[in-house]
Amino acid sequence: MKLRFALLAVLTWCAAPMVSADAADSRSERFALVIGNAKYPDAEAPLREPLNDARDMAAELKRDGFDVDIGENLGGDAMRRALDKFYAKLKPGSVALVFFSGYGVQSGRQSYMIPVDAQIWTEPDVRRDGFGLEAVLGELNSRGAGVKIALLDASRRNPFERRFRSFSAGLAPVIAPSGTLVMYSAALSSVVSDVGTDRSLFVGELLKEIRAAGLSAEETLNRTRVSVTRASRSEQVPWISSSLAEDFSFVPGGRPVAAATPATTPATESATVAPLLPTKPVVTPPAPVAVAETARDEGSIARALAEDPTVKSLNSKLLDNPEDAGALYRRGQVYASKGAYHLAIKDFDETIRLNPKDVEAFNNRCWARTVVNDLQAALKDCNEALRLRPNFVDALDSRGLVNLKNGQSKNAITDFDAALKINPRLTSSLYGRGLAKQRTGATAEGVLDITNAKAMDPDIVKEFAGYGVR
């Protein structure tokens, strides 16, 4: 199986050199950078929410006295230019706000905003092409901003998750300079279900609270957290961290009043309603291709996927060099992520023929063979991957699925236990272990694992059903 991963990041920067909120509002210049990224070529379809959310947020911030720059569907170079332009505006004591809506990825316990042209195939690619939240906050701090507010609405399942799973999905805790207020649209390492609406619940509730006069920024975000939690029936619980030492209000001149909801303590994180285990981003299983994949359908599936931008690019590379192992492997990943498992297996076959020690290809072929119920061959692939790389978490997770489908529940528990020891936030292993425990009669333990996994990823049940496991 593949690790999921969903990201959308919103960053708000505010600086206030005086003690009172009124003084801060009247003497601090306000700057905002708002980014909405929706058209990722690797995704099945453009995201519906980010552009509308970014435009609504920009309009509200302008009404609140911010000098706003807005960017839509920015690639890496464009995001870098937008950030550099934003940094250049800041002055000591100015207020800076950055809003990012799109895909976000957690890697190395840091959160990254992903531009639309990112080429992500391995974890190092995240750090190369993504924009780290901590780095952005650090730069804002070095420019003299007094109050840094980061609002991240990036907890979505993303098109890169099935390519590698050695990190946790969702967003990570942030180590930020003092005077920083950070909010994520969902709990740490959790995702938000894609309900196909034109605007996100998080931004809708945030805008309502921003417009309420007489609230400090912390109170505004806490009220937003409560509103989103209630509206989603605790399926989406935003996360807040604050080290603000001074009061700041989104509405200029509005002196803060007593908080109507529990406020966040500086340098602490807000509690969530979810279970104690870390929540995982809500990931949608890959949409099935138009035609069910059977041997006789492979030609029509290949033709349908030939128009996919990523597949088209890889096909071009393979036309120039049919033995490009990297392109074959990557095309196999794309095929598998889109449910074209037999096509994926063929590409992994060729990859392994060209490089018999390609541990990633063995693991991916194991997973794809498991989904199509070629379980004996899948087990051999997973065993070979683990021989080449002992304690390879992805292969342990994949072999756990093989054993689960094969009726070897105790072996499945052993594999999932080992995977979770390495990565406690691996939702697929947590959910799979819950199913295996139930099958061995440990019903209460199994229910606990399943409940925690569903809190981390509400679509995990649907995903396993797509693998033929219920």
Q: What is the largest CA-CA distance in the chain?
A: 72
Q: Which residue has the higher pLDDT, 256 or 75?
A: 75
Is residue 150 helix, strand or coil?
A: strand
Phi-psi region of 73 (alpha: psi -120 to 50; beta: other; left: phi over 0): left
pTM for the full model? Answer: 0.66
Q: Tell me how far apart the alpha carbons of residues 161 and 336 are, in angstroms, rounded to a whole number.
A: 12
Query: Pairing between strand 95-101 and 67-72?
Result: unpaired
Phi, psi of 376 (to 5 degrees): -65, -45
Q: Tell me how far apart the alpha carbons of residues 139 and 117 are, in angstroms, rounded to a whole number.
A: 23
pLDDT of residue 212 exceeding 60: yes
Q: Tell me how far apart the alpha carbons of residues 72 and 84 are, in angstroms, rounded to a whole number.
A: 16
Query: Pairing between strand 131-132 and 147-153?
Result: unpaired
Nearest to 241 by CA among 210, 273, 213, 218: 218
Check residue 335 and give its pLDDT: 85
CATH class of 12-269: alpha beta
The dihedral of CA 297, 300, 304, 306: what is its sign?
A: positive
171, 188 Cβ separation under 8 angstroms: yes
Nearest to 181 by CA among 90, 264, 59: 264
Nearest to 251 by CA among 204, 213, 205: 213
Nearest to 163 by CA among 319, 367, 8, 315: 367
Give the helix, strand, coil percentages of the chain, each rounded to 5: 45, 10, 45
Categorize the per-residue pLDDT at 168 as very low, low, confident or very high, splitting at 50, 70 and 90: low
Q: What H or E segment, with its residue span, contains residue 341? A: helix 341-354
- Per the DSSP assignment, residues forming a β-bridge with 75 are none
pLDDT of residue 364 exceeding 70: yes
- C-alpha to C-alpha distances, 435 to 168, 258, 327, 414, nearest whole angstrom: 21, 47, 36, 13
Categorize the per-residue pLDDT at 62 as very low, low, confident or very high, splitting at 50, 70 and 90: very high
Give per-residue burial for 447-470: e unless 16+ CB within 10 Å, then b: ebbbbbbbbbbbbbbebbeebebe
Q: Tell me how far apart the alpha carbons of residues 263 and 218 are, in angstroms, rounded to a whole number.
A: 7
pLDDT of residue 263 exceeding 70: no
Q: What is the mean pLDDT of residues 9-36?
A: 56
CATH 1.10.10.10 given to domain 295-466: no
Check residue 157 and give its pLDDT: 79
Q: What is the mean pLDDT of residues 417-445?
A: 93
Q: What is the dihedral of CA 92, 95, 101, 103, to 10 degrees?
A: 30
Q: What is the mean pLDDT of residues 440-451?
A: 95
All structural domains of the chain with their residue ranges: 12-269, 295-466
Categorize the per-residue pLDDT at 253 as very low, low, confident or very high, splitting at 50, 70 and 90: low
In this predicted model, what pLDDT tens digit does every residue of 115-144 receive, in sequence order? 999 988 877 889 999 999 999 999 999 999
Nearest to 179 by CA among 227, 208, 217: 217
Q: Tell me how far apart the alpha carbons of residues 415 and 467 are, in angstroms, rounded to a whole number.
A: 18
Beta strands in 276-412 (DSSP E): none
Residue 266 DSSP class: B
Q: What is the mean pLDDT of residues 53-57?
A: 97
Query: Pairing between strand 131-132 and 180-184?
Result: unpaired
Token look-up 């302008």 returns: 62
Is residue 50 helix, strand or coil?
A: helix
